[in-house]
Structure 1
């Protein structure tokens, strides 16, 4: 007996599941290219300062630099929809950090380059790791001296004396301008130590703190500049463009570029850019500004960089899992280290599969001084390595 086959008209047939390929993601720009771009930007910063002071007063150069740098970070904050930090205590510490890491050293370098060549300013800037180690041995109990690091410190300062031509009685050297440049380099490690003691683990993102710090530094210069300078008679195009580039590229964009490098390669690799800055600054000053060199300048610069490198020996092996040594690398590219970076965990955005619900209040920070150099982007928020992802599915990390 045949049976009629019927279908329920009220039950729609299931639609076929579409098979869609994942959207194409463009690969991130190779970190070596970004490293080279960062080295060029920071190496040319001293040339841009020199050009800027040819048309504007040093305080005006510094104010413009901070103003355009703040504008870049403000745009980044708006794109990422991040807010500035809250809390009177945090803003008070940021005001001190802004003075020590931005307003003071930027102004000192601008005044120094009125009387010294940009090449010498770039070399003086490379002494910051030496000052940083010397101060950390006194102010930071977790930094223990070793024979190699102490030897590097001594070698570095021998290099400084070589650059300055000490055996000639500093003949032909503008001592005031050189002293201002060295004081600017000393200001950075003082600011680093202050931030490590006051802002580490503040619970705010590094971008938020950086934006607030540059904003405060800009306000400080906005108050000081009218008191010590007059309105320029005109706006010379060359110096004005130099200031715009110095702020937008050398301060704002370079900072964002550096964050990406630290997250991908670790702080030790990222801070190696420090050793390229005086080389590029020297080449730029000689070829583009016609500055002259004596034999002692490049020889002394090599000795300074060798000493600075020795002061870093062993710093990457002192870390323990979960330890945060401070707000940002103890020795970085001095002239442009402009922001405290709290050592908080790297947490993915809310809504992603790997994000715990309770982690939404956490913030990210790429800087983990002396931490193991596993790229932050390759680790799960719990600390375990993430599973490998096919190349075509990786997000652009730049």
Structure 2
């Protein structure tokens, strides 16, 4: 029997049909081959006596159905919760390894598996035709399903909670996230201390979020942004974006406490002007050069063009590391020069890794720039077709490696993170 089609699975989930993990996995495996590895991906028996990641995921999906029924969830929210339950531990197929503990005994660990799962899904699920708004909810739930206890660091609402909980609400819908955390905790044969902590964290997060007024959804910082805008009458959209973006970063880090401080920190930029830095992000063929052309007044720094000028070809270093080093040196010098002039600089490169983006965006912050990441959020099949049509296509294996290596941007990496679809649709994280 052929696997069910993804649209049919999504429709059934939205209607409340109790689909199993195996049914959901069968529909999505053609688009996310890593799912096929979950039955053979082990887990540490101390925390997961039920066995493999697939065995755990099957239990989590069943508990998520029960929690959705209990809450009367339907439509997009129900589909998001159930799909996230099926996919939440996908990253373990990439990150699981044995490591010695403090006694020297080997234990099974999966560090950063939540974020790696989100990164694996962020582009691949576009090929399924899933609605981007639904996909963004799923990605947020997968990425943050282990973040509840970190948001609750501290000893109450007058400490870290008052910052950590709204910050988490900015990244993920808390009512769905707490239900996923409860399903994850219950999806274990032996309710270990770690699982009990998951249930306790969900309960505590719900209480804290309600007290802080960030439980119901929407932008938890809407009032903050509105007050900043009111304190800067007549400010350009870019100045408002700089004030709000920098202000939220400083507020979450504990450097400021009020919107007034956020507005005060951009007074110099309001008087003397400020540069802008747009970092494009996406694999080859995703449409970054088209995005760069949408900024006619910007200074575009294209690593492909610099590589061609230095003799390495547009997509490969003909002379190896020497050309790559020269390209980056020339690009950084051009970036610094543009920022010093107060220009709008567009960094046109794949920018796949978070560490590489951090170096470029760090220069922008050093010069007081408004920083943006614009992601060319393109289905892999479309990117591959565009790549094949190029005069000098990137080898298919290289393109596959790019999708595998991509770190999906975090909202905290820049003042604004914008996703641009192939039909010029936009979504802001």
TM-score by structure 1 length? 0.25
Which of the two has greater strand per residue? 2
Greater C-alpha radius of gyration: 1
Which structure has more relative contact order (CA 8 Å, sep 6+)? It is 1
User: Taking structure 2 as the reference length, what is the TM-score of the superposition?
Assistant: 0.24
